[in-house]
Amino acid sequence: MDYFKFKNNILYCEGIQVKKLAKKYGTPLFVYSQKTILEHFFKLSEAFSQIKPLICYSVKANSNLSILKLLVRAGAGLDIVSGGELYRAKQINCPFEKIVYASVGKTEEEIKKAVREGIFMFNVESRSELERIEKIAKKIGKRVQVSLRLNPDVESKTHKYITTGRKETKFGVDKKTAKEIISNTKRYKNVIIAGIHLHIGSQITESSPFVSALLKTKKFLDGIPKNNDLQFLNIGGGLGIVYNQEKPQTAKMFAKNIVPLLKAIGLKIILEPGRFIAGNAGILVTKVLYNKESYDKRFIVVDAAMNDFIRPSLYDAYHKIMPLDKRTNKSLRTKKLADIVGPVCESGDFLGKKRKITISEGGYLAVFGAGAYGVSMSSNYNSRRRAPEVLVKGKRSYQIRKRESYQDLIKQERVI
């Protein structure tokens, strides 16, 4: 469900014609629907209302300050993975007691900052990290809560780059190590092992991988000493969304399938959704620069590229692409499918392949499902300026990030 809809073949975001936004702010441009973001958040919290989890929105999915603020105001906490994300959380006054911090490679400086600020808990990914947090907390004179990230070794049925719960991935600790750590908590005077953390991957469209991970976690919990300090189970994020033909579980179905297990486990639950909230709440709008044919290929060259939106190049991800105005120019009609490509000097620079689209030069296209892992994964490759972001609320639009300037591109550099 989202609020990007065609009315009489013209695309609207909530109450605004997207073409008007493209003209006002220029392209490439990311457009988000506030109503969609909030509805996704509330759908999840309502689905799990029986067990009242803490929902920590995963900042990495879309880290724009206005979006973070919107969700924190709605009651979300934040799931962070770096000092930079902690800084963002602080800018929007997210209560520190609602911040959870994962990452396999937290630096000493990052840990110190988070301990001083008093975040809710670290999601710890190795024994060495645990010892480092213990040392730092002792020096600072604080006791800190951590969850131990368990690698349950389950198949999450998603792209291999976003699978994180298999034993060959770098994430979390194996069950044996986790058991040893929890059985020897007395070694840690400044760290309380207050929870177990799981995050088995992203864009998971079925409940079964979560159920497998939870069954393994229950078995693990049944086999550890009972005199432990565990109060929380963080089940991570990973809920899949519709990009094309997928039929992902709804929040309701997901809750129905796992709540009985969560109740049986009996710990307080934390969720870390990212894509589910932001993914379909955003589109990337791009302008057609050239129609081009070469040998037997047809290309639509647009002004957005892999630096703006890397998911198609990186994961071979399919994103729907449609003209903002579907009243096509009949004279352009052809059966030949087109690749939608950007200006970057890589053959991997494409937004879509073999699409049945005809559009005049100067026309606009929308790339759907670009609200998560869009701007947050963008770069300045080819010295391209990052695109602006606009948040729509009903009939009003707000620019929540400006287009970078050429000055921005070089401001940290020095000619020697």
Q: Which of 196, 152, 195, 201 is nearest to 174 (CA)?
A: 152
Which is nearer to ligand PLP, 239 or 357 (by Cβ)? 239
* Interface characters, 317-356, with ligand PLP (x: CB under 6 A): ----------------------------------------
The phi and psi torsions of 267 (rounded to 5 degrees) equal -100, 165
Residue 304 as a binder of ligand PLP (CB under 6 A): the answer is no
| 3 state SS of 227 | coil
Helix (H, G, I), strand (E, B) or coil at 13: strand
**What residues from 99 to 158 belong to the interface with ligand PLP (CB under 6 A)?**
102
Residue of 319, 347, 148 whose CA lies nearest to 242: 319
Q: What stretches of 342-395 adopt beta strand conformation (E)?
A: 350-355, 364-367, 389-393
Applying CB under 6 A, among 53, 83, 172, 237 the residue interacting with ligand PLP is 237
Distance CA 274, CA 37 (A): 10
Q: Which of 83, 195, 238, 352 binds ligand PLP (CB under 6 A)?
A: 238
Identify the residue among 232, 276, 309, 368 touching ligand PLP (CB under 6 A): 276
Angle of helix 34-47 versus helix 251-265 axis, rounded to 10: 40
Active site residue 56: no
Q: Which residues pair with residue 325 across a beta bridge?
A: 10
Q: Between residues 152 and 363, which has the closer beta carbon with respect to ligand PLP?
A: 152
Among 67-75, 274-282, 289-297, 382-390, the segment contacting ligand PLP (CB under 6 A): 274-282
- Residue 139 burial (10 A CB sphere; 0-12, 13-18, 19+): exposed
Mask: binding to ligand PLP, 19-58, rule CB under 6 A, as x and -?
A: ---------------------------------------x
CB atoms within 10 A of CB 343: 16
Helices 175-183 + 127-140 axis angle, to 10: 30
Go through 159-193 and write b for each residue having 16 or more CB atoms within 10 A of its CB, e for each that does not. eeebbbbbeeeebbbebebbbebbeebeebebbbb
Least spacing, CB of residue 333 vs ligand PLP, in Å: 39
Per rule CB under 6 A, is residue 272 in the interface with ligand PLP? yes
Q: How far is the CB of 79 from ligand PLP (least distance, A)?
A: 5
Token pair of 48, please? 């799990």
Least gap, CB of 263 to ligand PLP (angstroms): 22
**CB nearer ligand PLP, residue 83 or residue 238:** 238
Find the part of the chain contacting ligand PLP (CB under 6 A) among 252-260, 267-275, 351-359, 389-397: 267-275
Q: How many chain residues touch ligand PLP (CB under 6 A)?
A: 17
Do the strands 282-294 and 297-302 form a parallel or antiparallel pair, or are they unpaired?
antiparallel
Catalytic: which of 13, 56, 94, 345? 345
Pick 272 or 325: Cβ nearer ligand PLP: 272
In angstroms, the CA 174 to CA 165 distance is: 10
Decide: is 64 part of the binding site for ligand PLP (CB under 6 A). Answer: no
Only segment of 84-92, 107-115, 266-274, 328-336 that touches ligand PLP (CB under 6 A):
266-274
> Would you count residue 273 as binding ligand PLP (CB under 6 A)?
yes
Residues 159-218 contacting ligand PLP, CB under 6 A: 199, 202
Centre a 10 Å sphere on the Cβ of residue 301 and count the other Cβ atoms it contains: 17
Q: Which of 77, 165, 195, 236 binds ligand PLP (CB under 6 A)?
A: 236
Which residues contribute to the site for ligand PLP (CB under 6 A)?
Answer: 58, 60-61, 79, 102, 199, 202, 236-239, 272-276, 372
Provide the annotated active-site residues.
345
